[in-house]
């Protein structure tokens, strides 16, 4: 599906850009954004290093195992394919905790670590497993109980009013993420191919 969406966006951009006379802006955007992509990745290096370093200490000291054990009932339900004492569970939990607390900077390195550990359990390294899709969908549904600092800054005193609506809306979207992921993973269209069949 990503193949079609990706191509569709580029195709539509070029066509529309030609018609509206924005084609120079389209070219410029393509060049600028490829630079932005590298800037983002480079600026991630430092934060990644910081959190992966702290994570290593948490892992070696056994802290992560303790946390993972406490949340086992939930993670077993969400990620039945992952062994409950696998390190991936610890990283997933810490990533979600970081998201819930609104620590975006800490969440990404922890999430990438979780992905790496989930990949160890993957038979075909190019195809996402059920656990990976579940993890990703929950992540993109933005579980959080603390408003993003940017929203608080922009809304000023009114931020207090949208606190409840944000929590309820994000709770609803997380619920939809979990339900839809569990529903789609059983569908043939999205099934994990057994012998190298081509799905997208």
Partner 1 sequence: MIDSFVIFTNQISRYIIPFLLVSIPFYGLFFKKIKVYELFVEGAKDGFTIAVRIIPYLVAILVAIGMFRASGALNILLIWLTPFLNFVGFPPENLPLALMRPLSGSGSLGLLTDLIDQHGQDSLISKIGATMYGSTETTFYVLAVYFGSVGIKKSRHALISGLLADLAGIIAAVFLCQILFGDSTISQGNHKKQMTYFQGLKK
Residues 9-68, interacting with partner 1 (CB under 8 A): 9-10, 12-14, 16-17, 20, 22-23, 25-26, 28-30, 32-34, 36-38, 40-42, 44-50, 52-63
The CB-of-112 to partner 1 minimum distance in angstroms stands at 5
Q: How far is the CB of 153 from partner 1 (least distance, A)?
A: 10
User: What's the CA dihedral at 140, 190, 82, 54 to 10 degrees?
Assistant: -30
Cβ proximity to partner 1, 74 vs 168, nearer residue: 168
Question: Please, which residues have CB within 8 angstroms of residue 153's CB and are 6 or more apart in sequence?
Answer: none
Nearer to partner 1, 74 or 154 (CB): 154
Residues between 138 and 197 with contacts to partner 1, criterion CB under 8 A? 139-142, 144-152, 154-166, 168-170, 172-177, 180-181, 184-185, 187, 190, 192
> Would you tell me how many other CB atoms lie within 10 Å of the CB of residue 190?
16
Question: Contact between 80 and partner 1 (CB under 8 A)?
Answer: no
Q: Residue 26 or residue 71: which is nearer to partner 1 going by CB? A: 26
Task: State how far the Cα of 174 lies from the Cα of 93, in Å rounded to an integer.
Answer: 15
The rounded distance, in Å, linking the Cα atoms of 49 and 66 is: 23
Q: From the CB of residue 191, how many other CB atoms can be counted at a distance below 10 Å? A: 13
Site string for partner 1, 92-131 (x = CB under 8 A): ---------xxx--x-xx-xxx-xx-xx-----xxxx---
Question: 87 vs 84, 120, 146, CA distance in Å?
Answer: 9, 10, 27
């Amino acid at each position: 599906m990503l193949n079609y969406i990706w191509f569709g966006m580029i195709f539509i951009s070029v066509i529309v850009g030609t018609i509206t006379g924005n084609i120079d802006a389209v070219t410029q955007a393509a060049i600028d954004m490829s630079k932005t992509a590298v800037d983002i990745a480079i600026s991630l290096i430092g934060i990644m290093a910081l959190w992966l370093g702290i994570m290593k200490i948490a892992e070696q000291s056994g802290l992560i195992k303790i946390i993972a054990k406490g949340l086992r009932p939930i993670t077993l339900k969400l990620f039945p394919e992952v062994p409950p004492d696998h390190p991936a569970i610890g990283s997933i939990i810490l990533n979600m905790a970081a998201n819930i607390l609104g620590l975006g900077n800490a969440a990404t390195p922890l999430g990438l670590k979780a992905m790496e550990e989930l990949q160890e359990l993957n038979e075909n390294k190019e195809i996402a497993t059920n656990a990976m899709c579940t993890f990703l969908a929950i992540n993109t549904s933005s579980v959080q109980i603390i408003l993003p600092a940017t929203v608080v800054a922009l809304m000023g005193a009114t931020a207090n009013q949208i606190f409840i609506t944000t929590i309820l809306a994000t709770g609803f979207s997380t619920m939809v993420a979990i339900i839809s992921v569990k529903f789609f993973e059983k569908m043939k269209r999205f099934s994990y191919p057994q012998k190298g069949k081509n799905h997208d």
